[in-house]
Structure 1
Amino acid sequence: MIVDRDSQHGDNRQRNDNVGFVSLYLASVCNDREEDIFFNRRGVSFELSARAGDYEKYCNATNCDFLKKKPLPSFGWQQFELRATFLGALTSDEDPITLKLKIKSPDISLSMLSTPTALADSVASTFLGNKEHGDVIFRLGTRELHAHRGFLSARSEYFSALFNSGMRETRDLTADDRMVVTVTDFSYDEFFVMMRYLHTGSLNFLAGPDVSAASLFKISDKYNVQGLRDAMEDCIVDNMDVGNVVATLFDFAHRFPTLRQTCLDFIAEHFDEVRKTGLIEKVEWSVENYRDYAELMNEIVKIAPDSVVHKV
């Protein structure tokens, strides 16, 4: 919301209240500081109202699509109401101007995208990273993360099976009988963000360490954290473009049937644009990936337009 009580504008010229307007906008932003994790919001409806004293102004918008682009998308009203109308309804400088917002979205739950609730934060602080309440220690390189087996077992079938399976990696115990689990295939930051999601149910990563949607997809697939996995897959698809689809496909997506097909479909639809980037030719082959990459290249040839195949 853009409104000020001062009579001076940014360039120190007097503002005429009769022509100055209040602007209200709803903007969609990324869910992390590196602006890697963004969820498209399609078909969003929202109601905005502003109240000053006894005066209230209301507007609504329906079927808005918040899709990733630069600048980030927003919807609203540049001339929501005359500034003088709001300021004239106030009886003193201490009177508030109150905003109310209602959002409806058919896509991913907006509550998952918001900041964790106070209760969720309390749960996380009690059971995650708390040595006093923890009875399992995850070791990742030189760092450790304390957690509670009972909580994780209730939240995840994977961890429930892990803690009760008697697997070798869970047999190590500390002197005070805390279970020790060694994690070698993911970083501490990736593991911590996944664990925080399990504790809070929130996809808001602004306050956490910097991680990518791809890394969260892979770790949530490994540990069968379905909600996080599905959200990260949606995020990867939402942000797919001609500049990253080749890397996405060859780096990891080819191991996941649905995501693999999505990448191939995107390449087929934008074949000329993808080909002109030269990224397909720059794929790095190795003995380890040769069989998989050869199969992918064969699939790409199959979806290429006939004119391109004939040129080759």
Structure 2
Amino acid sequence: MTTVRRACRRAAPAVVALCLLTGVGGWAVHAARQHSHRAVTGAAAISLEPGPRLVAVSADQATRGRVLSAAAGGPPRIGVLTCTRFYAAGGTGLCLRPDGDLPTYQLAVLDAHLRERRTIPLVGVPNRARVSPSGRWVAWTVFVTGDSYNGGRFSTRVGLLDTRTQRLVPTLEDWKVSVGGRPYRAADVNFWGVTFAADDRRFYATMSTAGHRYLVRGDLAAGSVEALRDNVECPSLSPDGTRVAFKSAVAGDPRRGWRLAVLDLATMRETPLAETRSVDDQAAWLDDRTVAYALPRGREESDVWQVPADGSGRPALLLAGASSPASLRASDPALT
């Protein structure tokens, strides 16, 4: 195991390589160098059909931004689709990407074969992307400027789309909000980092207002959100729906970095994870026991790491030269 970890860390940055460690969903050990000369590329290389695979975005210099697929026992597959942020579940993909040569962005909703089902222009810079376990709902977060309350600094905006009915929710800022069980309204309310429950009605997200960053639970049918807990950012709901992985600002101050933790939704008990580095990402569950996340490596590259969700163990490299991980196995309710 030590040899494998060293091999993964030594992998050349030009290689987007599979490095899946034993104990995560039963996947076998593969050193990064084993597949460096056998990466599969082409339009047909990627599928979003459920299976024991990861999809992610390449953060390698040679293939940066291209969507890749990685499975145990074979080489990584690198497609032609390019995204700034990507996520997939239930046979649906969500790609946030530049709008051609323009200095703007768009989102593309994709089917299981990465064919476009709908595109929508984005007003802002892409930051987060999520798809509900069934593939019905997609959500995105963008950075925007121009809100008068914050002096021209960046703020965030969430959009939602029901891919079945084509209902579009361009913002959550006009929804009913409650804090402490009471209706709440403020000009500085911001939302980001949506994660969906399996019932295609409930979701969780971050709401920022008056210096607080709340975990909120949303109701898609009622058009409402309620604050549950303070100092919770970028939640990610576990496949069994009982916990959220999240990042929280150290000592409540984002300038000091973020720590990963898992929150039990029934007891509100918080479990810090073994990753002690600052993680500025929305984690993704590989299964009910393990979460994955991206960490920067250098100025423009990043790697995907994994850590047990119960606070035990230690971080381990999962995918070298990648970001935006999504587990197709964990995304399919029938497989969880």
Same fold (TM over 0.5): no
> Which entry has the higher C-alpha Rg, 1 or 2?
1
**TM-score scaled by structure 2?**
0.20
Bigger strand fraction: 2
